[in-house]
């Protein structure tokens, strides 16, 4: 079983749609969780951290379910510029060893 698993997609949605991605992780000792965004042929960049209480940043909402060992990312009112691959990232406590999911590809169409 992979340490971090994501649905690779692709997700093809129209502008304005709401789309959600899930990610599961295998190590119950994992303490920190993030979503990174990677544009085509570019480097990954941090999108947002994921906190136990859930957190929101504009149109983006991230949630963590420790009991079920999954995290989610919700994008509301999707824009063309949201088209990218979204990487789920998990690290162990006090350890900079990041484990990336394979990524979920999103295409937002006009």
Partner 1 sequence: DAGVIQSPRHEVTEMGQEVTLRCKPISGHNSLFWYRQTMMRGLELLIYFNNNVPIDDSGMPEDRFSAKMPNASFSTLKIQPSEPRDSAVYFCASSLRDRGYNEQFFGPGTRLTVL
Measured from the CB atom, is 78 or 104 closer to partner 1?
Answer: 104
**Of 15-23, 38-46, 61-69, 72-80, which segment contacts partner 1 by CB under 8 A?**
38-46
Q: Is beta strand 104-109 parallel, antiparallel or unpaired with respect to 11-14?
A: parallel
- CA–CA separation, 4 vs 95, rounded Å? 16
Asked if residue 44 binds partner 1 (CB under 8 A), the reply is: yes
- CA–CA separation, 10 vs 55, rounded Å? 25
**Of 12-20, 42-50, 51-59, 76-84, which segment contacts partner 1 by CB under 8 A?**
42-50
CB atoms closer than 10 angstroms to residue 99: 16
Least CB distance to partner 1 at residue 15 (A): 28
């Amino acid at each position: 079983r992979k340490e971090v698993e994501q649905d690779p997609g692709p997700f093809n949605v129209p502008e304005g749609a709401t789309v959600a991605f899930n990610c599961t992780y295998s190590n119950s000792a994992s303490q920190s969780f993030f979503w990174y965004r990677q544009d085509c042929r570019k480097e990954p960049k941090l999108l947002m951290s994921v906190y136990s209480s859930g957190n929101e940043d504009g149109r983006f909402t991230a949630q963590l379910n420790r009991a079920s060992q999954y995290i989610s990312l919700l994008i509301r009112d999707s824009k063309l510029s949201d088209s990218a691959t979204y990487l789920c990232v998990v690290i162990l406590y006090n350890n900079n060893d990041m484990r990336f999911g394979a990524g979920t590809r999103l295409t937002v169409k006009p």
